[in-house]
Amino acid sequence: MDEVEQTQVEQSEVQNVGYADIPGVALTDSNVISDFIKKTKVQDVLNWGRKNSLWFMVNAMGCCGVELLSTGMAHYDTDRFGIIPRNSPRHADVMIISGYVTKKYLPALKRIWDQMPAPKWIICFGDCAISGGPFYESYSTHQNIDEIFPVDVFVPGCPPRCEALIQGFVELQKKIETKKDKGTDY
Partner 1 sequence: MDAESMIASLTDRFPDDVYDADIESAIRTAAKVKPENVVDVCRYLKEELSFGHLCCEFGVDYPDRNEIEVIYMLGSYEHPVILTMKALLSRDEPEIESVVPVYWNANWYERETYELYGVKYLNHPDLKPLVLPIEMLGEWPLRKDYKGFPNKTAKNLV
Phi and psi based region of residue 144 (left: phi greater than 0; alpha: psi -120 to 50; beta: remaining): left
**Among the listed residues 131, 157, 161, 164, the single contact to partner 1 using CB under 8 A:** 131
Binding mask 31-70 for partner 1 (x = CB under 8 A): ----------------------------------------
Cis omega before residue 134 (within 30°)? no
Helix axes 162-177, 64-71, angle to 10 degrees: 70
If DSSP codes are grouped into helix, strand and coil, which group holds residue 80?
Answer: helix
Residue 115 touches partner 1, criterion: CB under 8 A:
no
Number of H helices and number of E strands within the chain? 7, 5
% helix, strand, coil for the chain, step of 5 = 40, 10, 45
Residue 123 touches partner 1, criterion: CB under 8 A:
no
Among the residue ranges 48-56, 67-75, 102-110, 172-180, the one whose residues contact partner 1 (CB under 8 A): 102-110
Residue whose CB is less far from partner 1, 31 or 140: 140
Among the residue ranges 46-54, 64-72, 88-96, 101-109, the one whose residues contact partner 1 (CB under 8 A): 101-109
Residue 10 touches partner 1, criterion: CB under 8 A:
no
Return residues touching partner 1 (CB under 8 A).
Answer: 3-4, 7-8, 102-104, 130-132, 136-140, 143-144
